[in-house]
Amino acid sequence: MWWKGLLVAMVTPFKEDGTVDVEGIRRIVEFHINSGTDVLVPCGTTGEVATLFEEEWELVIKTVVDASAGRIKVVAGAGGYNTAEVVERARTAQQLGVDGILSVCPYYNKPTQEGLYQHFKKVAESVSIPVIVYNVPSRTSRNIEPATIRRLSEVDNIVAIKEASGNVEQAMEIKYLCGDRITLLSGEDSLTLPLMSVGGKGIVSVVGNIIPQDVKALISAFERGDTQSAYNWAIKLFPISKAMFIETNPIPVKTAMNILKMPAGPLRLPLTPMQEENKRKLYDVLLSYGLIEGEKV
């Protein structure tokens, strides 16, 4: 089982003219391979997938797969609210050589639990690679309920759930209903340790874009039974994890990456540059963490 540990929800770096920064993507891939990241997840929410044209979506995935060259697993975002279109995207991602797909809960349409089950079942049956279901009700207006996840766990290649409801009790219910039939992954950096304590196996991380070694250290400590070290890492990571959501993701993480001279570049509308007050708060958090030098602003 490779779909565990540190999965990083990659940003999509853009050039100043707004085009995809292909060389930046390659640099990001090398950074994560050298940092010990387990899985790269391009073209998700953090990758501004909603603003990517189809050909750009394919370019980003192809670039990550080619740059990875089998040295790190790649799970591509392939989701939406039109099941037929998601099926086509999943098939295309498989053809591009990804190891798996991450598929978000259909948004806007507000399907019933039966509709959610049928949607993900259809998507999973259209490919032969592992599928990770992504539950993020704050963005989609629909919660994939634990009973629905239990049904989905019986579909052969639905292997994991990225649980970003923020509800630890719901995560426990998923483990109670599904056992080891589905892998529980945290969808929120600040809840990595709490979810691992109830059976989670890792995190699809935003803050991992900038400090993957530290997030991996938390996970590794917990896995080897060193709960005190895992707790210490969780407390250290908490302020910076929360700072990644001062404004809508991925505004803060791309801002942080630009401050740290990492490939990120501008955002695409309707996302806008970070407000100066919040940017100062982010700067102070990066300073306190030791990622930059200087004085608080």
162 is catalytic: yes
Bridge partner list, 218: none
What is the structure's pLDDT at 223? 98
CB 43 within 8 A of CB 12: yes
Does residue 42 form part of some domain? Answer: yes
* Average confidence (pLDDT) over 63-82: 97
List 162, 201, 254, 279, catalytic entry: 162
Res 252: pLDDT: 98
Tell me, yes or no, whether 289 lies in a domain: no
pLDDT for res 296:
62
Cβ-contact 18, 181 below 8 angstroms: no
Q: What is the pLDDT of residue 293?
A: 83
Peptide bond connecting 212 to the previous residue in cis, omega within 30 degrees of 0: no
159-218 confidence digits (pLDDT tens):
999 999 999 999 999 999 999 999 999 999 999 999 999 999 999 999 999 999 999 999
Omega before 250 within 30 of 0, i.e. cis: yes
Tell me the average pLDDT across 41-65.
98
The CATH number of residue 54's host domain is: 3.20.20.70
**Residue from 4, 62, 117, 134 carrying the catalytic annotation:** 134
Output the pLDDT for position 295.
59
Looking at the chain, the whole-number percentage of residues with pLDDT higher than 90 is: 98
Q: What values do phi and psi take at 41, rounded to 5? A: -125, 85
Residue 243 is assigned to a structural domain of this protein: no
pLDDT averaged over the chain?
97
pLDDT for position 201: 98
Domain count within the chain: 1
Q: Is 289 among the residues known to form the active site? A: no
Answer yes or no: is 271 within a domain: no
- What contacts 177, CB < 8 A, 6 or more positions away? 146, 147, 149, 150
Q: Which domain holds residue 70?
A: 5-224
Q: What percent of the chain has pLDDT over 70?
A: 99
Residue 11 within any structural domain of the chain: yes
| 101 — pLDDT class (breaks 50, 70, 90) | very high
pLDDT category of residue 94 using cuts at 50, 70 and 90? very high
pTM of the model: 0.96
Q: Does residue 291 lie within any of the structural domains?
A: no
Q: What mean pLDDT comes out for the span 129-157?
A: 97
Domain assignment present for residue 242? The answer is no
261 inside domain:
no
What's the pLDDT tens digit per position in 248-269? 999 999 999 999 999 999 999 9
